[in-house]
Amino acid sequence: MKILVDADSCPKPVRELILRSAKRTNITLVFAANRPIPGIDKETVMEICSKEEGSADRRIMELANPGDLAVTRDLPLAEQLVEAGVNVLDDRGRIFTRDNIKYYRSIRDFSVDLATSGLEVVRHPNYGKKELKGFADSLDRELTRLIKSQSF
């Protein structure tokens, strides 16, 4: 099992928390981004992808295996990962599953349509302690669940 992080839009406190969790659990961690991400240590895999649109997403899909855990706020990527059997959560702690990803994707697509039509849509409100705690709780639960499932 490994943790894959869509690092381009991942908030710094989330990256730091993921780094600590991966070290504590001794799980391989891979950050994928179109640019170097500050604060990534030498033991962590940092996949620097081309500047081409979607290159980091494609790299995450190449590296992902069923049973891995991915962290992304990119709902089209989350949908692909869920369909591939990868466990996915966003930086606010929402866990995406086969049962709910279409719902979240439809809301995202509707918001994009509104924005394209000229209406102003707030996509990502401020990220603070409440959101980080939600993520930390979900990450801990998912890692515990995944580690236990691999023990059998």
The string of pLDDT tens digits covering residues 81-103 is 999 999 999 999 999 999 999 88
pLDDT digits (tens, 9 = 90+) for 27-71: 999 999 998 888 887 777 888 888 888 899 999 999 999 999 999
DSSP-based helix, strand, coil % in the chain, nearest 5: 50, 15, 35
Query: What range defines the domain where residue 84 resides?
Result: 2-151
In whole angstroms, give the CA distance from residue 96 to residue 64. Answer: 15
Task: Find the CATH number of the domain harbouring 119.
Answer: 3.40.50
Number of domains in the chain: 1
pLDDT at 152 over 70: no
